[in-house]
A and B are shown apart, each in its own frame.
Chain A
Amino acid sequence: AQSVTQLGSHVSVSEGALVLLRCNYSSSVPPYLFWYVQYPNQGLQLLLKYTSAATLVKGINGFEAEFKKSETSFHLTKPSAHMSDAAEYFCAVSHEAGGTSYGKLTFGQGTILTVHP
């Protein structure tokens, strides 16, 4: 079984400050890991994904995440927050890395990011 834990349901930062959203996973097999963003009343947009290549993954909108196997973490960061980054962010793990069930995602609880002027 796989699980994802996002530490902090709400994170608040000032515009221009570092964004750090935490994600820890549990998986019995090498995981595929994802970060998605959801704006109000919209679907999910993929920010980035880890698929066993480089441990530091760069995504869209200046976000990046680092896969740390020893810490079972995949934290999302952005050096400088923009007002437009305010949204809810979900970390997810794939049930099977590359298998026929690839795409069955287990999501974390979500973290709402608020950006203050």
Chain B
Amino acid sequence: GAVVSQHPSWVICKSGTSVKIECRSLDFQATTMFWYRQFPKQSLMLMATSNEGSKATYEQGVEKDKFLINHASLTLSTLTVTSAHPEDSSFYICSARQAAGNTIYFGEGSWLTVV
């Protein structure tokens, strides 16, 4: 079946540095991908919608200059957390919408720890 892969699964970075998380649809084209964030013991919150070849659409309260999203191809979207701070430590998970059939697949998620 369709698979969405995220990389890295775990990342630790120093405060003030930037970190990039990749979301790939492995066997289908995804014109739209979504990025969510999940803080410990909380639910998933949509951060932004990533559309191939255009700017991402951010949800209210999400800083677009801090969370850079690039969707350069039909199979890859990247989330870059710039100037990371400890409060950005969270579980980031992406989903991809398969163009045919409107099916949504989630990646495995990426744990970010900022120290």
Residues in chain A within 8 A of chain B (CB atoms):
36, 41-46, 90, 98, 100-110
Contacts and interface: CB of A to CB of B under 8 A. Distances in A.
A104 B34 contact: yes
Interface string B76-115: 0000000000000000010101000010101111010000
Interface residues of B, number: 20
B3 to A, nearest CB: 11
A102 B97 contact: yes
Given A43-B109, A44-B106, A90-B44, A103 B32 contact: yes
Contacts of A106: 46
A90 B43 contact: yes
Contact of B107 (A43, A102, A104): A43
A44 B42 CA distance: 14
Interface string B35-50: 0100000111110010
Contacts of B36: 105
B69 to A, nearest CB: 14
Residue in A104, A107, A110 whose Cβ sees the most chain B Cβ within 10 Å? A104
A109 to B, nearest CB: 5
Given A101-B49, A102-B97, A104-B49, A42 B43 contact: no
A109 B49 contact: no
B79 to A, nearest CB: 15
Nearest to A42: B108
B46 A44 contact: no
A45 B109 CA distance: 11
7 contacts: A45-B106, A98-B102, A103-B95, A103-B97, A104-B34, A104-B46, A105-B34
B46 A109 contact: no
A86 B93 CA distance: 21
Contacts of B95: 44, 103, 105
